[in-house]
Each structure stands twice: as structure tokens, then as C-alpha cells.
Amino acid sequence: MTRSRSRPYVWVNWLSKLMTGEVRCHWAPWFRTHYMDYTNAPSNFQSAVWATDHTKLLDELANERRAHGEGILKESQSRFRIRRPSGLTIAGKPDLIALDNEGHATIYEAKTEHPRQSDIIQVMLYMMSLPYGSPLFRNKTLLGCIVYKSGARSYIPPNAIDNAFQNNVTYFLNTLECRNPPAKTPNPIECGVCDITQEDCPERLESDESTTKEQTEPIIPI
């Protein structure tokens, strides 16, 4: 049953999608930030396939880094929770962190789909947050790397976490923390992948997968 959180709570991946505009309906991450125990939309076979591909990619990456003599922290081993002075909690769980003997820590995020801008912002948020979330990372140089199923990799240098980035994070955290909800902007594409059901969002639009693109596109008589 949906109930209010005692304090606002946001996961890094909600924030990264909001910051890059991949989520146009700002109400959805705001709702997750302020409410919990809501009914989740059911998963489909694509989610199961994604989970399997992700586990395989992450295992391969861990074996690669171990072969280089690096220490490995996977998922829950590096989970963190930090709090703003206002009370909002920021939580995250990097896929994998590799530690070398030179004081460097590389945060790896495994992605099985095509590259998105939010992938980079997600890792940058980890790089910004981890020194506050764990003493292990306070004196280490943090680097970032997104590893894609295709084999492509995107690297993020330590100096990417500058004042401009932190100011942007502050702006969007303030947006999520505000007690007044932003306007809903439902659309079939976003609603189709949103885990908030019509029980909490009556405006949710259900996509009709049986309708083809050719059937729904209007014809221009020229």
C-alpha cells in the first residue's frame, strides 16, 4: 500500500535520467522520492532477458579486472547512502569497483543496451558520492567507465566532477525534494516503461502493442 516516506529518498539512476531529460515526466521520479510501497507494474520477458545479459556482462568484467590483479567490489559490496543537510537521502549501488595498487578506484557500470547520456551521468554521480559514502574512497582517485555489451567503453576522468556538475546536481535534487509535485506529462512511451501503475497515477497511458507504426501515423496528401 502506497505510503509517504519519512524523508525524501532518491536512487542515483532516477536522478541521472531526470538530469539528462530521458524522463520528461518529472512527476514520476518525484513520486518515487516521496512515496514507497506502491504497486509496481509487472515485469515482462524483456526485463528477464536484460537481467541475464547484465549478470553475464558483469561477471565477464569482474574476471577481466581480476586478471589485471585488481581488487573487486560488486554491487551490494559498494552500496552507499548519503544525506543532504536538508534530510534527503541519496542511494546508489555501482555495478563494479576495481581497486589497483596505486590508489586508484575505477567505477564500472555495465550496460546491455545502446549508449545513453544518463549512463555517463549515473557514473559521475557515483564518483561524486562515494567519497562521502565510504571511508575507503576518500583518499583515492576515482575514475569512471561504462562498459557496453557491444564492447564499446566510455571513460570518465576524475576532473569531470567540477563545480558546474555539482551545481546541476543541486538544482535537480532541489526539484525532487520540493514538497509540491511537478505537473504530470504522461505519454505512451514513458508510461510503458514506468513502474508506477494507474492505482497511483490515473493519468498513466497504456501503449497498445498491437497497433503498428504504419497504422497510427497519419497520411499527408502530397
DSSP for the chain, written as a single string:
--EE-SS-EEEHHHHHHHHTTS---THHHHHHHHEESPPBPPP-HHHHHHHHHHHHHHHHHHHHHHHTT-EEEEGGGG-EEEE-TTS-EEEE--SEEEE-TTSEEEEEEEE-SS--HHHHHHHHHHHHHHHHH-GGGTTSEEEEEEEETTS-EEEE-GGGS-HHHHHHHHHHHHHHH-SSPPPP---HHHHHH--B-TTT-TT-----TTS-HHHHSPPP--
- pTM of the full predicted structure? 0.89
**Domain coordinates in residue numbering, the chain:** 3-206
Residue pLDDT tens, the chain, 222 long: 999 999 999 999 999 999 999 999 999 999 999 999 999 988 777 778 889 999 999 999 999 999 999 999 998 899 999 999 999 999 999 999 999 998 899 999 999 999 999 999 999 999 999 999 999 999 899 999 999 999 999 999 999 999 999 999 999 999 999 999 999 999 988 998 899 999 999 999 976 554 444 556 778 887
Here the cell at position 40 is 509496481
Is the domain spanning 3-206 CATH 3.90.350? The answer is no
